[in-house]
Chain A
């Protein structure tokens, strides 16, 4: 096999104490091939991506191993040689294009800079032509007016295309992409992904695509490598790996990923990956693995090729852990009552006089989950904050049961405030860092007039209910992981037994396995407590696993509402159709 880049036995450690961040990394990518490097946050995937450029973050050391591109050994190059290799031989597309481009330079200047540094083409004329060419390759206009723009005059998608153009400008043989579409809307993401794929195939560029998003990898990558706790646990061709994963961790990842097929239920996994320095002797996944046997704990399984082209580090490949099998657990709907738990009529919300949500009508019944779906800027958060009483500038009607709510939470009664609860997007900012968990969760009860002992008892019960222990009451938020914090936030919202729960992108800051367990928890609580839930998200596949009804919001207007299955499989509005088509999915692997 022709190889563009190969990584062998790479180990990267913390500079001071030699703790391994990643170890035993073996990868190779053929020209024109896209390799997806998948892992949760902290798994070391970005560290590996940067090592391909011969770069290590501050405080991190490339301990041993080789990265070979063509005949250049990247880790042995000196500073000057490395600088010349970067951009020409291997280039990098970072995560956030808005911070990666220099805001003070016109995009033409930034593009030409790369070419001049590597003396591409030999003349200014040739370089000008190359800029024109690469701009059309990334499907951007190459008119002088456009090239004279500053980064802030471009949209997020256009900025990322400029980033791609810079990376492809000198025709490198390898390109490293670090989650380049994370901040983009699905339709923009779809276009960028298509561009990446076409460019790599057309110009025979090997691409290392680093991401946490399995669905993106499924639509883009030819081969996939899965990382867990600093090791690659499995690699193989994308289609085979997704249809029949061999490592139990991969199987868990896929089971946890949201998917639009309505019979798919997301399944989470408890625990978390061991941090560097706390990794066990044996397989680092053994502690969370149902298939683990003594041998797993004794030593880390060596790489072996189970099927041609598929390498896995597991002694029990292809065995299926029980918990990844899907079970039909759909609840019977709760009998409809005469009034809706939450009714929104003709709601218009604005910011400083500028209307951003227009005439929205929706309702949620007891025990029902309504997903409010929209891209960024669609007004979904403004709408949900209006319902929660956190945004006051709105007109129209919000009825909680039969009571009409005042715009601001401050003007609602205590009972009303407790009957409708809000869970925030980011669990890292929704808990007061200097207050113990128990005190945070107890507040709604104390406000509702409960005694301290009664509150403490209920807090303990509630923490158990969200799959934590009562002992968590005495901890501070910084002692908890993101998933645990979000459970605490849910406990705080539910402790006063509200009727309506508004969840604003509650899983978007979490890893896929954690996301799945939070979604599982919410579904279960909704069934048991008969909650009416408004689930706000931009993530369509996630909706399939949790919602009964979908409301699609675009530019502040409701474009479509209906039962989940109907909307996802037979969308009526043009906007919904486009949104669904652009959403990457694991189950819908494109024909190759």
Chain B
């Protein structure tokens, strides 16, 4: 005597399979996310491929230092920089080191932070204490100071910059992930997986991770924004892998002496860094609104 052979319509509406309210889907339906993404893509293209449209080589002299456009020996759009390089060329070359280092540092922080956060949330107890308290210690060091200390000890190689920025970002991500995962661990589907004897790794990856994805995305984006700022700052202070190579942060430092005769050497990289962080910030804002359900369609509770 089952309920199905009653011949009564079960009122089942056939629905296409879909992911439950995807944060990405919701986020990209908002204008702020789209605008932010357009900005990020535009600047990423400039940073990665700009060198192919650069009029000169990045170390090529176009005239005397700090000459405005029209007063240089060779024709330029934005005049010359501190040792007579072309500002526009230096700008087109200078984004790549910052962007790549920021993305890699954020990815590193994302992987380590998520792993630590999930392990802490799932195991609780002593392991949780040890992990999270050591995260707190890292968190207590100001990012820029600890980065400067490490870089002055080991040298400003690309690897060291990525490692220091990445590792100093780990505790921030770990905290967010742990916070989100703690409530997920309490839910019955985790117990169901345990009772089936699923491995700990599988429980972290397949049960917990998908359910902390939304806050994780938001946090990762915020951290990318901060990493861009931090790496530009480090470069501004003169720590770059190759002091001769173009770099937005370094450009600001080198060209501030020539601010009066030719301001473009500072203005261009400043605008680029500012707009890039605004872009990633907008994307992050859209993601967090989607995750919190702020702009959700009305009537949907």
The residues of A with any CB-CB pair to B shorter than 8 Å are: 14, 16-17, 59, 268-272, 274, 287-288, 290, 323, 327, 329, 388-390, 409-410, 412, 414, 417-418, 421-422, 424-426, 429-436, 440, 443-444, 447, 467, 469, 471, 474-479, 489, 492, 517, 520-521, 524
Contact = CB atoms under 8 A, between A and B. Distances in A.
Interface in B1-40: 1-4, 6, 8-12, 14-15, 17-21
Which 5 A-B residue pairs are closest in the complex by CB-CB distance?
A430-B188, A434-B210, A424-B188, A467-B4, A474-B17
Nearest to B298: A16
Contacts of A16: 298-299
B192 A430 contact: yes
A520 B1 contact: yes
A409 B188 contact: no
Interface residues of B, number: 35
Contacts of A323: 6
A14 B298 CA distance: 11
Nearest to A289: B8
Interface string B194-223: 111110000000110011010000000000
A388 to B, nearest CB: 5
B197 A434 contact: no
Contacts of B18: 476, 479
A414 B210 contact: no
Contacts of A409: 194-197
A429 B187 contact: yes
Contacts of B187: 429-430
Contacts of B8: 270-271, 287-288, 290
B188 A426 contact: yes
Instruction: Identify which of B6, B18, B193, B207 gathers the most chain A CB atoms within 10 Å of its CB.
Output: B6
B114 to A, nearest CB: 16
A257 B159 CA distance: 68
A269 to B, nearest CB: 7
A410 B191 contact: no
Contacts of B298: 16
Contacts of B299: 14, 16-17, 59
B49 interface: no
Given A409-B195, A467-B2, A492-B192, 17 more contacts: A271-B8, A271-B11, A288-B11, A409-B197, A417-B196, A422-B191, A425-B188, A426-B188, A429-B188, A430-B191, A434-B211, A434-B213, A447-B196, A467-B4, A489-B192, A520-B2, A520-B3
B20 A476 contact: yes
Given A270-B6, A287-B11, A329-B1, A422 B195 contact: yes
B192 A417 contact: no
A414 B197 contact: yes
A6 B2 CA distance: 43
Given A269-B3, A443-B198, A467-B3, A429 B17 contact: no
A390 to B, nearest CB: 5
A501 to B, nearest CB: 12
B10 A270 contact: yes
Contacts of A424: 188, 191-192
A388 B194 CA distance: 10
Nearest to A438: B17
Contact of B196 (A271, A443, A474): A443
